[in-house]
Structure 1
Amino acid sequence: MKGRQSSFVFIKLLVIQSVAALSVARDFDFFYFVQQWPASYCDTKRSCCYPTTGKPAEDFSIHGLWPNYDDGTYPSNCDSDNLFDQSEISDLTERLQKEWPTLACPSGDGYKFWQHEWDKHGTCSENVLNQHSYFQKALDLKSKANLLEALSRSGIRPNGKYYSLDSIKEAIQGALRVSPYIECNVDPSGNHQLYQVYLCVDSSATDFMECPVMPHGRRCGSKIEFPSFSDSDSIGEDYVEEL
């Protein structure tokens, strides 16, 4: 009798553990693909540090590819047994340093940033993407979006001038056929600047889509600055943590 009870308890525990594991690792619904404008990242009281590979190009850079649920929540740090391995992306390193550079202080080569993004966000997409394909997909999405060209075609250029928030959204939507979410920062003078562009991507990280739910980033005023990065040489010494 005791043996049967022990077996029953053991089986019950296995079922509970299996259900718990499934609830934690449930499939996500879509990605936020987030790009940031480097001049706006740097033009804060904290400033920034250029990577050890040199000052990045005047272009949007990747911040992250983040799995999300339709209800506005998101998974994070999903697999401590599948942490970042830089050898997995050795063939992508040169592109990553150009298109996914770190601006955190102190200066780095990018690996710490990419490690953070994979461990926190990428491991939650591992049922769909392995580490290499996660970073490859992000690079492909950046090329596909080509935000700077989309804005330039509408006469919106990084020249320190102010543009309406609506015109920026319309330029991106006209090029990609989906609605972006624009996040602003506030520079030391209190001006709103174009900081990050969120685009929603399907769960295979292949195609842009309309966002099931918009993020809760910092909102913009009706007129926002698009600062030049080619004239920016402001570098700080304070540590800035990558999100």
Structure 2
Amino acid sequence: MMKSQSPLVLVLLLLPTFLPTSSAARDFDFFYFVLQWPGSYCDTRRSCCYPSTGKPAADFGIHGLWPNYNDGSYPSNCDPDSAYDESKIEDLISSMQVHWPTLACPSSDGTHFWTHEWEKHGTCAESVLDQHAYFQSALGLKKQLNLLQVLRDGGIEPDGGFYSLNAIKNAIKKGTGINPGIECNVDESGNSQLYQVYFCVDTSGTELIECPVHPRRRCGSRIEFPAF
């Protein structure tokens, strides 16, 4: 007859059943897709540096595609072993230089920026998007939204004019069907200016959805849309 196993052995045998898996630890509820206006990034006391590839177009650039939870928190740096690998996205680099440029100083080609975005945010979405799909999804969302044209269709131009927060939100809602989150920063004269626009995207990284929670960002009553 076999000897019965000790209680300690039974506990050790059962213990793995109750430990979370690495994939479960990386689950998330939605993405924030964040677009940034370069004129507002540069028109601050900190100023900016154009990429080594040249001055970006006067258009919204991608800041990131960020996994988020419905309570407003977010995962980050989920897989230190999954390094940014340019060889996996060679076919996207030219598009990223146009649509996902870096304005940080000193000037660079964007590699440091994209590395940061992948390692902090992209690794937390690997259960649904590999590295190529992650960057490709962000590029596709920018094209789908065409945000600058949406604002222009609503009479809001990047010419240094001032607009109400509601006018900006209403123009974006009308043009995209989605309520955006708006983030402002402050120029050298202390004016509140349109800086970043947040959209929410489902966990596939392809479908725009209404935000379960908007980021807590404040704007003044009059918002400048500076030229670039």
TM-score range, shorter chain: over 0.9
Corresponding residue number in structure 2 for 1:88: 88
Contact 2:76 2:121 in 1 (8 A): yes
SS at match of 2:174: helix
Give the deviation of 1:45 after TM superposition: 1.0
Corresponding residue number in structure 2 for 1:11: 13
Contact 1:44 1:187 in 2 (8 A): yes
Give the deviation of 1:135 after TM superposition: 0.3
Corresponding residue number in structure 2 for 1:240: none
Return the alpha-carbon distance in structure 2 between the equivalents of residues 208 and 185 of structure 1. 25
Return the alpha-carbon distance in structure 2 between the equivalents of residues 54 and 24 of structure 1. 40
CA deviation vs aligned residue, 1:188-237 (integer Å, no higher than 9, x gap): 111000000000111111111110001123x11121100000xxxxxxxx
Corresponding residue number in structure 2 for 1:28: 28
Contact 1:166 1:222 in 2 (8 A): no
Corresponding residue number in structure 2 for 1:199: 199
Give the deviation of 1:22 after TM superposition: 5.8
Task: Extract unaligned runs of 5+ from structure 1.
Answer: 230-243
Corresponding residue number in structure 2 for 1:105: 105
Corresponding residue number in structure 2 for 1:122: 122
Seq. identity, % = 60
Please list every run of at least 4 consecutive aligned residues from structure 1 whose deviation after the TM superposition is greater than 3 angstroms. 1-7, 20-23
Return the alpha-carbon distance in structure 1 between the equivalents of residues 172 and 121 of structure 2. 25
SS at match of 1:62: strand
Q: CA RMSD in A?
A: 1.6
Contact 2:42 2:48 in 1 (8 A): yes
Return the alpha-carbon distance in structure 1 between the equivalents of residues 13 and 41 of structure 2. 53
Contact 2:60 2:148 in 1 (8 A): yes
Corresponding residue number in structure 2 for 1:221: 220
Return the alpha-carbon distance in structure 2 between the equivalents of residues 11 and 103 of structure 1. 53
Provide TM-score, normalisation by structure 1: 0.88
Return the alpha-carbon distance in structure 2 between the equivalents of residues 199 and 5 of structure 1. 52
CA deviation vs aligned residue, 1:111-165 (integer Å, no higher than 9, x gap): 1100100101001111110000000000000000111000111111110111111
Contact 1:176 1:208 in 2 (8 A): no
CA deviation vs aligned residue, 1:5-60 (integer Å, no higher than 9, x gap): 563343244335x32646522x2111000000001001111111100000000000
Does residue 139 (structure 1) correspond to residue 139 (structure 2)? The answer is yes
Return the alpha-carbon distance in structure 2 between the equivalents of residues 153 and 62 of structure 1. 21
Across the two proteins, how many residue pairs are aligned to each other? Answer: 226
SS at match of 1:105: coil
Does residue 156 (structure 1) correspond to residue 156 (structure 2)? The answer is yes
Query: Residues 60-71 of structure 1: matches in 2 within 5 Å?
Result: 60-71=60-71
Contact 1:79 1:124 in 2 (8 A): yes
SS at match of 1:19: coil
Corresponding residue number in structure 1 for 2:186: 186
Return the alpha-carbon distance in structure 2 between the equivalents of residues 21 and 205 of structure 1. 20
> In the alignment, residue 228 of structure 1 is paired with which amino acid?
A
Corresponding residue number in structure 1 for 2:73: 73
SS at match of 1:167: helix
Return the alpha-carbon distance in structure 2 between the equivalents of residues 78 and 126 of structure 1. 9
